[in-house]
Amino acid sequence: MTAPLLELAGLTVDITTEDGGTRTLLDGIDLSLAPGEALGLVGESGSGKSMTMRAVTRLLPRGAAVSGAVRYDGAEVLAMDAGALRRYRDREVGLVFQDPRAHVNPTRRIGAFLIEALVRNRGVGKREALARAAAVLAEVGIDDPQRRLRQYPHEVSGGMLQRVMIASVLLAEPRLILADEPTTALDVTIQREVVGILDRLRRERGMGMVFITHDLDLALAVCGRVAVMYAGRIVELRSADTLHERAAHPYTLGLLGSRPSIDERAQRLTAIPGRPVSAFESGPGCAFAPRCGFATAQCETTPPALAEFDDGLVRCSRVEEIHAARTEATA
């Protein structure tokens, strides 16, 4: 067993509100990512999937208190001093966000944007940096990279700019990529190209990737394992190959039933009642209990632990009964 590249243990984030109260956003996240592995984080609003990524890079809102551990290649990220944190962010981790236009300076050419970190942080000469930038643009499938380097962000499409963002991440040669809804704003045909590029580069370069998305099927297509999050906790973790067949948590089952199919019209979608909640809105027991068709009085009061079930991890006190009932119903 190789040492994990990234390891989260009991990661908890609380935020202090203006009225002095505290609100829990993430509640005891345990995850590990092997070098070269792709892990999906899937969830709805308030599930904490983006907050997890921010905690990994310590890019948290003011007033946030973090506890637990974030270990990168064995180093405690939460204990890093300013210099170590900067090196970690600059060299080890690459971030790809949903909206590339919000993360690029619109007044500077793509070439200047791409070489900035190389020239300023790594002391690479400008000519050499531009050559590397052109090479990496070609790697992300951009034709005529020399012309693109001279263009401004507004002169290229959203899909092209997202490739530029991926190229900028690659230039730092990180070992970990954190991609937060990187294709949500793109058309499906472009989405397919962009996730294909991320996947190919991850394999070629042996990078670890955490892929955050609301789209369960996209996560299954891109990742080896997928963690489903609800109200700041992981509720199910499984291999992507078997999630459709083996999903056991009522929330995962609900997500699968909620999504319409391109192949046939469902008589009715098996919608989950109510709305997704954040960790601080949930009661003392299972956060999903108020929306769960299987919940008992005990579910409302006793929080379930994340436990092994059918080759995965599931956070549900009734998982065995539910599984047995479902197996019987389909037999």
Partner 1 sequence: MNAGNAVEVRGLSKHFKAHHAVVDVDFDVPAGGSLGIVGESGSGKTTVARMLVGLERPTSGTIAVMGRDRSAPARGARERGRRARELQIVFQDPYTSLDPSQSARAAVEEVLRHHGRDLSLTQQLVDQVGLTERQASARPRDLSGGQRQRVAIARALAASPKVLILDEAVSALDVSIQAQVLNLLADIRTETGIAYLLISHDLAVVRQLCDTVLVLRRGRVVEQGDCATVLDAPAQEYTRALREAVPVPGWRVSA
Binding interface with partner 1 (CB under 8 A) = 44-45, 158, 187-192, 195-196, 199-200, 203, 214-218, 220-222, 244, 254-255, 257-266, 268-273, 275-276, 291
CB 8, min distance to partner 1, A? 24
Nearer to partner 1, 118 or 223 (CB): 223
Return the number of the residue (11 or 220) whose C-beta is nearest partner 1.
220
Closest alpha carbon to 98 in 141, 59, 50, 58 = 50
Which residue's CB is nearer to partner 1, number 64 or number 222?
Answer: 222
In the complex, least distance from residue 161 CB atom to partner 1, rounded to whole angstroms: 13
Give me the least distance between CB of 309 and partner 1, in Å please.
21
Cβ closer to partner 1: 10 or 293?
A: 293
- Closest separation in Å from C-beta 150 to partner 1: 24
Pair 134, 146: CB distance under 8 Å: yes
C-alpha span between 226 and 244 (Å, rounded)? 11
DSSP symbols for 314-325 = E--TTHHHHHHH
In the structure encoding, which two tokens stand for residue 264, read together? 């046939």
If the CB atoms of residues 87 and 244 are measured against partner 1, the closer one turns out to be: 244
Minimum gap (Å) between residue 211 Cβ and partner 1 = 10
- Min dist. Cβ of residue 252 to partner 1 (A): 11
Q: Which DSSP letter does residue 271 get?
A: P
CA-CA distance, 39 to 192, in Å (whole number)? 18
Give the nearer residue to partner 1 in terms of CB position, either 30 or 281. Answer: 281
Of residues 264 and 308, the one with the C-beta less far from partner 1? 264
Reduced to 3 states (helix: H, G, I; strand: E, B; else coil), residue 288 is coil
**Nearest Cα to 132, choosing from 160, 140, 161?**
140
**Residue whose token pair is 């990512």:** 33
Name the minimum Å distance from CB 190 to partner 1: 8
Q: Which of helix, strand or coil describes residue 74?
A: coil
How far apart are alpha carbons 269 and 261 in whole angstroms?
10
What's the min distance (Å) between Cβ of 216 and partner 1? 8
Residue 272 main-chain phi, psi, to 5 deg: -85, 130
Taking the complex as a whole, the smallest distance from the CB of residue 98 to partner 1 amounts, in Å, to 13
Task: List, as own/partner pairs, every contact residues 60-66 make where C-beta atoms lie below 8 angstroms and the sequence separation is at least 24, other chains included.
Answer: 60/13, 61/15, 63/15, 63/16, 64/13, 64/14, 64/15, 64/16, 64/25, 65/13, 65/14, 65/15, 65/16, 65/22, 66/11, 66/12, 66/13
How far apart are the C-alpha atoms of 100 and 155, rounded to whole Å? 13
Q: Which is nearer to partner 1, 114 or 169 (CB)?
A: 169
Which distant-in-sequence residues (6+ apart) come within 8 Å of 51 by Cβ?
A: 13, 25, 26, 60, 232
Closer residue to partner 1 in complex, CB, 29/247: 247
Closest CA to 197 of 216, 214, 177, 215: 177
